[in-house]
Amino acid sequence: MATEHDRRDRLAAERADTPLVRLLDTARARGHEMVRPPDPTAPPAPSAPAAPRPLSTIRVGESPHSLAVSPDGTRLYVSDFKADSVVVVDLPREEVVDTVAVDDGPYGVAASPDGTRLHVAVPDTELLLKIEFPDDVSGSHFGHAPYGVAAGPDGQRVYLALALEDRVWVTDQFAMGDFASVPGLDFPVGVAVSPDEKYLYVTHYFAGRVSVVDLGRTSVISTIPVSNGPYGVTVTRDGSRLYVAHFPYGTVSVIDTARGEVTDTIAVADGSRGVAVSPDGSRLYVTDFFAGTVSVLRP
């Protein structure tokens, strides 16, 4: 019988996803338990009904990893891992209008609050990229492998999930500032910042939980149990809800931040990895990593 570990290894190898392979190998070397008995406190993944029909599906490339919505809600930015690019989608038309070539294997992507630039995490080359539109791409090599990235609401701070180091590093857009570090995390891969920048939400790929970090104290103050494989995470503009994509399980958890618990689970296409929400909260965008598409849903 194929285990959860076997499935993740196979998917990583088939897609030549070397950062994921490295993550799996590191977890195995540390003796991390890949297959766990069900956690009675964690909400189960839905078995029925089947994934609802999305409002629409946007073809964006070979292997869309992560995504971000522009502050005005008119653009969607999608990192295409295999194509070494960031795809720009015009959301009113739901059409690709530009493709920006970047370094090998882009992972996380975050938009600045003023909409003038993107931050892109590239773990294989230990690089933080900055894209200033229309096509000015620059990068900072800083000796660490960033898996996920989030931008603070004032644009001054960038949060990088250093999964292989079990921490999140807080820096600037050039990866030069050393503002803070949040240690003691467990293979963090996804990060999202609350609108008031008081809290950081961090997904732990192997642990089945989301950590809530108090940024004033740079320490974890609570954890939220979720289903297996939590990966991408996004927060609504009012800070009331989190959405967590579970890779490669085809589900998205909906979390009430005030209650600190999962309130719903949305079935989506297999290979859900990145997730973003529109500024008005009316649309949810989920990358279908294996289909080369983004699903548009009503949350």
- How many Å apart are CA 110 and CA 72, to the nearest integer? 14
- How many Å apart are CA 118 and CA 277, to the nearest integer? 16
The CB density around residue 101, as the number of other CB atoms within 10 Å, is 10
Write the pLDDT tens digit of every residue in 153-177. 988 899 999 999 999 999 999 999 9
Write the pLDDT tens digit of every residue in 204-223. 999 999 999 999 999 999 99
Picking from 224, 174, 176, the residue whose alpha carbon sits closest to that of residue 199 is: 224
Return the structure tokens found at 77.
């930015």
Strand ranges for 152-227 from DSSP E: 158-162, 167-171, 180-182, 188-193, 199-204, 209-214, 219-225
Lowest mean pLDDT across 11-15, 177-181, 259-263, 288-292: 11-15
- Say yes or no to pLDDT of 283 above 80: yes
Cβ contacts of residue 211 below 8 Å, gap of 6+?
185, 188, 201, 202, 204, 220, 222, 223, 224
- Say yes or no to pLDDT of 112 above 80: yes
Q: What integer is the mean pLDDT of 215-234?
A: 96
The CB density around residue 38, as the number of other CB atoms within 10 Å, is 10
Write the pLDDT tens digit of every residue in 79-91. 999 999 999 999 9
Give residue 37's pLDDT band: very low, low, confident or very high (50, 70, 90). Answer: very low
Q: Residue 96 — φ and ψ, nearest 5°?
A: -70, 125
- How many Å apart are CA 51 and CA 267, to the nearest integer? 4
Q: Given strand 209-214, what is the order of strands in its sheet? A: 188-193, 199-204, 209-214, 219-225
Q: Which segments of 219-261 does DSSP mark as H helices, in order?
A: none
The residue to which tokens 């000015």 are assigned: 136
Give residue 54's pLDDT band: very low, low, confident or very high (50, 70, 90). Answer: confident
CA dihedral 79, 231, 75, 150 (to 10 degrees): -90
- Say yes or no to pLDDT of 41 above 80: no
The CB density around residue 205, as the number of other CB atoms within 10 Å, is 24
pLDDT given for residue 104 in this prediction: 85
- How many Å apart are CA 279 and CA 282, to the nearest integer? 8
Q: How far lies 149's CA from each of 48, 89, 159, 245, 270, in Å? A: 33, 20, 5, 15, 23
Give residue 71's pLDDT band: very low, low, confident or very high (50, 70, 90). Answer: very high
Give residue 135's pLDDT band: very low, low, confident or very high (50, 70, 90). Answer: confident
Q: What integer is the mean pLDDT of 63-70?
A: 96
Give residue 136's pLDDT band: very low, low, confident or very high (50, 70, 90). Answer: confident
Give residue 4's pLDDT band: very low, low, confident or very high (50, 70, 90). Answer: low
Picking from 199, 265, 227, 267, the residue whose alpha carbon sits closest to that of residue 39 is: 227
Sign of CA pseudo-dihedral 56, 60, 66, 68: negative
Question: Please, are residues 164 and 146 in contact by the beta-carbon 8 Å criterion?
Answer: no
Write the pLDDT tens digit of every residue in 86-110. 999 999 999 999 999 997 899 999 9
